[in-house]
Structure 1
Amino acid sequence: MIKSLLRLSSSLRNRIILIFFAITIVPFILFSAYAHTKSVEGIQQANATFTMSYLVQSKINLEAYVDKLNEQMNELIGDKQLQSLLEQPPASSQDEVSASVDLLNIVYQKKKQMDALQLRVYPLNADAYPTYLRALEVTSSTRKEDWFRDAANSTLPFWHLSVHGGPNNGPLVSYVKTFTSLHNRTPRGLVVADLADNHFSRFFSPTKRLQGQKFLIVDETGSIVYDSAGNQWTGELLPSAKLLEMRNVAKEGVETLSIYNEKNLIAFVRMDSLPWTILSLTPMQALSEPLAAMQHLLIFFLIAYMICTVGVVIYLTRNFTQPVFQLVKLMRKLEDGDMRMWIPHQNRKDEIGWLFRGFDSIVRKIEDLIAQSTLAERTKRELEFQVLSHQINPHFLYNTLESIRWKAENHGRNDIGEMVSALGNLLRLSLNQGKDITTVGREIEQVKAYVQIEQARIGMPLRVLYFFDEELLDMTFMRLLLQPLVENAIQHSIRGNFEKGKVILSGRVEERDLVIDITDNGKGIPEEVIKGLNETGAHRQPAGRSGVGLRNVNERLKIYFGQAYKLQIETKEGKGTKITIRHPILPTGDENQAETSGDLDLSKMEGRRSGGPGSSRSAG
């Protein structure tokens, strides 16, 4: 984040934009955020206070209702007739029917006095009362349910939730108590009072102004017993472990938590006489809804501020920073060597106009200096080559060598004749009629002539292999690049082991370049020689005999085609050397022009110095 801001602030235009935003938009946004935060906090605090008071009152009312329900159930349990009917099982079926009628009448009369959906009494000795159980629609499966077995084996009352056991397939909360005989502690039966959701909804009425507010009753295990919002979550575990932990620590509290990815203001109160906790969930979005009008007003002002700021920034950018930015781009083009760029004329009388006119004048002067320098360098090389060419008359030298070869053959010394013929061919190809550009085929002929002379001189064959496609031989190529490298390989790498030594020349085309590899299996090139190739000026060390040919070829490639076309060398002591020459593919016309003018077209070479691949890819 910090690095991104630093990069943005590096430009004058971006600085102006950042400053305007900092002094206009940022303070407004901060003030709006602060006001909104404080407003939400005030609403939360007021809502929390009101909700907590409401929950405490609901707790008192609900506990009073349950206490009364418990008293009524205890009155039923203490009924002597009920106890008498359950203490002594019926002796006959007729007595059983009579007892069942009496039990139903007792339960029915008590039900009319109780505020419950249904009241039921289950004898624990169920087999002795089949008629009564059929009237209650109790089957053997009911007695096998977990809650029935737990109640029969416990003397403590508990609450049982049936999610789909109530009216309209709704939830049903049952209050279950096991009772014993009045004379001893022998269990006699179960009393069950069923409560539907409407028995709880009378104690909780969410306000319509807070959309989404709901009240929950959660038991000691974290299961939701009652949900005021249509029992959406009834029977599920409360989806907040943190809230359950808070409930176990404190009897009441207020907290802001996320439930089902929705942020809620939650208030809770733990009941005293019941194993329940009452919760109120109010979505934060509903609390902040009254602030919507103020937010709209703030957004309107924010948009107005942004429009004004953007207008000022556009004005400054178009009239000041954009011209400066354009001038910077022109300077970068000049830095990259692009001297043909178009510089717009500025009629402005301020500092921006002075900068453009001054920059245009500087570029024109640099162009003139480069043209003069290029012309001087070209003239210098032409004069140097003429001096070398005039040291020997090529026609005189060719005729003399031909006479020597003719006389040698007349005296039966064909070996001398072949050696003189190869020397003449080597000299002819080296001079190349004073031209700097030749073809790949002529360069290979020159290498073959040199190898022939070396074989005659050392008196043993040399293994030099050539792998070039026919179409490569006619491609234009700078002269005297291959022979010095082959000579270096023969004289300094495979020398002393000509029986096993081998030099391989291979060529290929990669993209827009001609790539030639010279590979040998000799001793390798010393590391100091390779380091010396890249040294320039005062740091350049004197090259040994093994480095002269390499440096000559490397310097010529860099002078004509740029740094990207220097030699690529892979060598290892005792494992051989691989030297890669990367040469741009020149149009065929370059060679033809060189044949007529006797010189290399430097204007085309200058255009290629700034481009080209940066490295040579090794061939297998």
Structure 2
Amino acid sequence: MIKGSLKLASSFRNKMIFLFFAITIVPFLLFASYAYTKSVEGIQNANATFSMDYLEQTKRNVEAYLNQLNDQVNDLIGDGALQAMLAAPPDEAGEEEAVAVDLLNLVYQKKKQIDALQVRVFPLPMEAYPTYMRTLGAPPGVEREAWFERARQSVVPTWSLALGSGPGSGPLLVYVKTFTGLHDRTPRGLVATDLSESHLSRFFSPTKRLEGQRFLLLGEQGEILFDSSRSEWTGQPLPSAELEQRRQVQTEGEMTIPLQGEEQLATFVNMDSLPWTLVSLTPMKALTKPVSDLNRLLVFFLAAYLVCSVGVVAYITLSFTQPIFQLVRLMRKLEDGDFALHIPHQSRQDEIGWLYRGFNRILRRIESLIEQSTLAERSKKELEFQVLSHQINPHFLYNTLDSIRWKAENHGRTDIGEMVSALGNLLRLSLNQGKELTTVGRELEQVKAYVQIEQARIGRPLRVAYFFDERMLERPLIRLLLQPLVENAIQHSIRENIDRGKVVLTGRMDGEDLRIEIADNGRGIPDSVLRALDSEESAPVRGRRTGVGLRNVNERLKLYFGPDYRLRIDTGEQGTRIVIRHPALPPDDAGAERRLAQPGGETSQDRPANAKDASYRPDGPEG
């Protein structure tokens, strides 16, 4: 059963169906989810920013109003007539009644200048003004109420919340201020200023309010002093401990809190002059209502999209996957060795038709390819035999040169023997057993063999000096790099002045590279040769073959290691200096020969760390 399920899942047709739904439905759902999340986030941020700005403006307006109210109350307190009436309690009943009438008239007149619902003045002591207190309508024992005692004992104005109990009565926010005489510290009375809901609601009435949005004014202990939603929560503690804790440590902020079973976006700002906080609460469902409507529309489109997708899948299955499935069965028969297959003719001009016709052509070519494979195997054997035969030729040449050297020495011609021996060494080192990589030491031996042959040909010693770091002699080096350059220096620079001509070879480690310099004091390299060296053409210069060795070495370095490793040539009438830079490959790097088979494959990661330079003079200057 498991194998059957795996086979069903690996079917191309089923994969196509799964892939179709994966690239159509899944991205659609992901995009819808992402768009909804980002839309809610954007709406929430925008509303939070708007609410925060509105609360800041409301805070400034409320504080300006409270400052104005305090100034108006101070004008009442500073009135000379009020101070004179309350300077001393009246002694007689008639005098007390006259004071009561004057005091009521004064308060009534001043009330017109104070932006409040009601202004009450309580003289101290109150028992000395019974007529005034009865006319004022103050309840008996008002001086023993908590708000009165708190205001009387405080040196700063106090606020208290009075909740009405009668029909049509609303909560009042009472501003109480105790005042003394103008020229002494003797208490004269209290001024209680009542602010109704209408006095505060005008500061919490934005032009556009979302459904369910409300504004709160919180007191110092977290009690709700004002609720813009018909004072529903006025007098109650804030129903969110998280918001209460947050406002105690921050001056303003925004957060999402659960209230009454739904998420609310809360923004708050603390006031500067009073320990109050302005709060805006907005239901999240009111914010996301447009997005929710859009989501319902998306669900409808998704259902229609699924119906269309099923139709498209059926069409793809019948028109594409079923013919491919039939072709797979034919291919399995071919795997079993049945070459006598009948491929149905497909006149379709799409990829399916091309696939059937292409498979038919492949099938018809398999038999011819089998025959060609047999012939190719036979040719391969013949080539291997030829390669083995050609390997005999270099050994035959070595043996022949050794025989010539032996006969020359037997006849007393040691010069001929040495020349033949040098030629044999030169040939052996040049061939390098067919390998492209040699070592710096073997390359120097090849140069010395060449110099020895040239000295024998010229009949005069050549001044060639070698100075190499001993630790770089075992480093791998591309073969035939130095000998062509030394030959070029001898043939074209110092040959016309053998007595004074000199060639110096220097080698040292330079970071992750081998640096080899070949310097001579000859007549320099012509400009035409240098221009041909830098050109893209690899053909030799017309006429004399001057510069062929230079160009060969330069092209090989660039081919294997890139343009950064080309020859650096400094030439003039006083001589020529050629600098070769070669990557410092590890001495035992077995994969270097294979990497050189792919030009440009060597990287700095394959190079070893270098040691300090040291001079090396194996044989001293020759000549």
- Normalised by the length of structure 2, the TM-score is 0.46
